[in-house]
Amino acid sequence: MFDKLNFIAEKYETLSEKASDPEVIANQPVWRKIVKEMGEIEPVVSTYKEYNLNKETIAETKALLEDGGLDADEKELFKAELNDLEREKETLEDSLKLLLLPKDPNDEKNVILEIRAGTGGEEAGLFGGDLLRMYMRYAERRGWKTEMMELSDTGLGGIKEAVIMLRGRGAYSRLKYESGVHRVQRVPETEAGGRVHTSAATVAVLPEIDEVEVEIDPADVRVDVFRSSGNGGQSVNTTDSAVRLTHIPTGIVVSCQDEKSQIKNKDKAFKVLRARLYDAKLREQNKEISEARKSMVGTGDRSERIRTYNFPQSRVSDHRIGLTLYKLPAFMDGDLDEVIDGLIVADQADKMKA
């Protein structure tokens, strides 16, 4: 670990020298690349400097205690200081281990979040609509921008499917653990007998993928245009602005009719298609990873039940980390950080064990 830390510290110094070179400064693209790289490793370097300073202070304190020129009170004072320094050293070591964990290359990307009603009929659609509002509220709390990509509603306040884009720093790093089956237990509004029903909705969280990351051969995509329509076939637009893309090799179909412009709908649809193709490739690669190396917070498989929302008890339970909170109304209003933070900590702990 320390060989790697020394290498990073030396690299930071080299980059710092380059960043202050007038010739490099004159070449703004190169300078920005260097500054960005410095920013990525700066937390490691500053923590390592703090760690080395702590080690020096520990050595000096031990030398004073071994000198023999201290009275009893001074010895007690320095022993207490040494204990504090040793605890600080352990904390810094743990921080360095976390900082050296491999970074998910998608963590800083925007998110394409897909919600689909699962088992449970109309109640599943209503719950899907609740999840959509929950994530929109969470995005609002974090200052992220939201953009509706596709929405297919049931006409009764629920959804069949919704696809939204969430734009904000670190959006994927926060939401990537949300993929899976979300189960709800509550009395449906349509249930006269007051019986608790169990329904479900699935969530898929995909990072926004650039064109250079996933190349799509135009010959592999069939593009169909059609007229946007709302509930009951009522026309929303009088032109053929809606777009349906079919990726022939994989059979993936993406539709978008949220915009009145065919060009904008096509652009949105290609964003979703790239994300789904990337996700399919990633999930295929994950199949090759042994069970021992899978994160304890789950693989992100959409078939995996990850959380239960129990309305009669105002309880939300995340099954991957055994965390239960009795504040369901606040959670449904977008107060998700306590659970998300717990998932991140569990994931980091699992990676450190590995």
Q: Which residue, 77, 99, 121, sits at the end of a domain?
A: 99
Residue 337, domain CATH: 3.30.70.1660
Are residues 310 and 195 part of one domain? yes
Q: Is residue 43 part of a domain?
A: yes
Q: Are residues 88 and 184 both part of a single domain?
A: no
Residue 118's Cβ-side half-sphere holds a number of Cα atoms within 13 Å equal to 19
Do 238 and 263 have their domain in common?
yes
- Whether residue 77 is found in the same domain as residue 162: no
Do residues 9 and 67 share a domain? yes
| Whether 116 and 159 share a structural domain | yes
- Domain for residue 121, yes or no? yes
Query: Phi, psi at residue 146, to the nearest 5°?
Result: -120, 145
Residue 141 within any structural domain of the chain: yes
Taking CA 166 as the corner, what is the angle to CA 236 and CA 183, rounded to the nearest 5 degrees?
A: 85
In a domain, 104, yes or no: no
Q: Quick one: tokens of 116?
A: 């689909």
Asked whether residue 44 is domain-assigned, the answer is yes
How far apart CA 56 and CA 288 sit, in angstroms, is 46
How many other β-carbons are positioned within 10 Å of the β-carbon of residue 57? Answer: 15
23 within some domain: yes
- Choosing from 99, 125, 140, the residue where a domain stops is 99
pLDDT value of residue 286:
61
- My answer on whether 88 and 149 are in the same domain is no
32 Cβ partners below 8 Å, 6+ apart?
none
Asked which of 47, 71, 99 is the last residue of a domain, the reply is: 99
Neighbouring residues of 171: CB distance < 8 A, sequence distance ≥ 6: 109, 110, 111, 139, 142, 144
pLDDT for 295 equals 47
Mark whether 32 and 161 lie in a shared domain.
no
Tally of domains in the chain:
2
User: What range does the domain containing 198 cover?
Assistant: 111-288+295-352
Identify whether residues 170 and 61 lie together within a single domain: no
Residue partners of 233: CB distance under 8 A and separation at least 6: none
**Could you tell me the two tokens for 300?**
């992100």
Note whether residue 105 is domain-resident: no
For residues 278 and 254, the answer to whether their CB atoms sit within 8 Å is no
Is residue 40 assigned to a domain?
yes
Burial of 85: CB neighbours in 10 Å, binned 0-12, 13-18, 19+: middle
Phi, psi values for residue 148, rounded to 5°: -75, 125
Same-domain check for residues 191 and 222:
yes
Are residues 265 and 173 located together in one domain of the fold?
A: yes
What string of pLDDT tens digits covers the 354 residues of the chain? Answer: 788 888 889 999 999 999 999 999 999 989 988 998 898 889 899 999 999 999 999 999 998 888 777 888 888 888 999 999 999 999 998 888 877 777 777 888 899 999 999 988 889 999 999 999 999 999 999 999 999 988 888 877 789 999 999 999 889 999 999 999 999 999 887 666 678 899 999 999 988 887 656 778 888 889 888 876 654 334 444 567 888 899 998 889 988 887 778 888 888 888 889 888 888 877 776 665 444 334 435 544 556 789 999 999 999 999 999 999 999 999 999 999 999 999 988 888 887 776
Looking at the structure, do residues 314 and 238 belong to the same domain, yes or no?
Answer: yes
